[in-house]
Amino acid sequence: MAHTDYNVWLDRGHFDDAERVYQEHLSKLKSGGASCCADRSSCKAAQNSVVAGTSECKLVARVDTLEKENREFRKLTDELRSAITSLTNRLAALEKGSGSESKAAAPTQPSPAAKKEEKSEEPADDDDFDLFGSGDEAADEDAERVREERLKAYNEKKAKKPVVVAKSNIILDVKPWDDETDMAKLEECVRSIEMDGLLWGASKLVPLAYGIRKLQISCVVEDDKVSTDDLEERIVAFEDYIQSMDIAAFNKI
């Protein structure tokens, strides 16, 4: 039996089913992609609308805030303007009142021309009308005598009153050159200074450093007669013993 080749597609039904499933799958993918794109665009549009709405709300809120601040500023400006106007009116009223009071309080002084007219109207001869002129002169003499007696008594009382002399208590620090300076001789030189209104008091030696001591001496001076500058000049004149002088204390008596 001769061998014969047959080209027979026995599984074609399976291939048709597979192609159909594949085409359905492709159609689903296309429809799903379009819907996804539409959803994405709609979401983006909604997002843009939300952003725009939020910006608009913020802008409206900002405008409302500015309007409120503007109203408050206008109110404050009006209050300040009314306060300034009230103060200006009060100041003007006070100035007007003070001006009128000063004019009312100022005594009216007669002018020189009026004084001259009054003098010219006086009678030239007063002897005919001065019937009691002698009595007035006697009263004037008594008043003058009493005034002189009182003035004399006041001067006598003032002369007897003791005069208060201004005095000061001064403590001086007198410093020597070194530790070999004779402090007794230094104090003797200081106390040898004599001035009208100067009275020397107690003294003591105060240690300084390195065996050096200073002379601390007190004195009472009359302010009108003794000057501290003159006293210092006389003290430092003993330059063989004294290096410098300082005022440690100055008190009024």
The pLDDT assigned to 52 comes to 63
Cα 197 from Cα 170, distance rounded (Å):
13
Report whether 182 contacts 240 (CB < 8 A).
Answer: no
Q: Which of these, 240, 120, 99, lies nearest to 181 by C-alpha position?
A: 240
The structure tokens listed for 195 are 């001035």
Q: What is the 3-state secondary structure (H, E, C) of 81-137?
A: HHHHHHHHHHHHHHHHHHHHHHHHHCCCCCCHHHHHHHHHHCCCCCCCCCCCHHHHH
Exposed, middle or buried by CB within 10 Å (0-12, 13-18, 19+), for 183?
Answer: middle
Cα 240 from Cα 234, distance rounded (Å):
13
Q: Quote the pTM value.
A: 0.38
pLDDT, tens digit (0-9, with 9 covering 90-100), for 115-137? 555 555 554 444 554 555 555 67
The pLDDT assigned to 174 comes to 94
Q: What are phi and psi of 125, to 5 degrees?
A: -115, 110
**Of 113-117, 131-135, 138-142, 187-191, which has the strongest mean pLDDT?**
187-191
pLDDT, tens digit (0-9, with 9 covering 90-100), for 71-125? 998 999 999 999 999 889 988 888 887 766 655 555 555 555 555 555 555 544 4
122-136, 137-151, 195-209, 228-242: segment of lowest average pLDDT: 122-136
* DSSP state at residue 62: H
Mean predicted confidence (pLDDT) in 216-226: 92
- Residue 170: how many CB atoms within 10 A of its CB? 19
Beta bridge partners of 199: 220
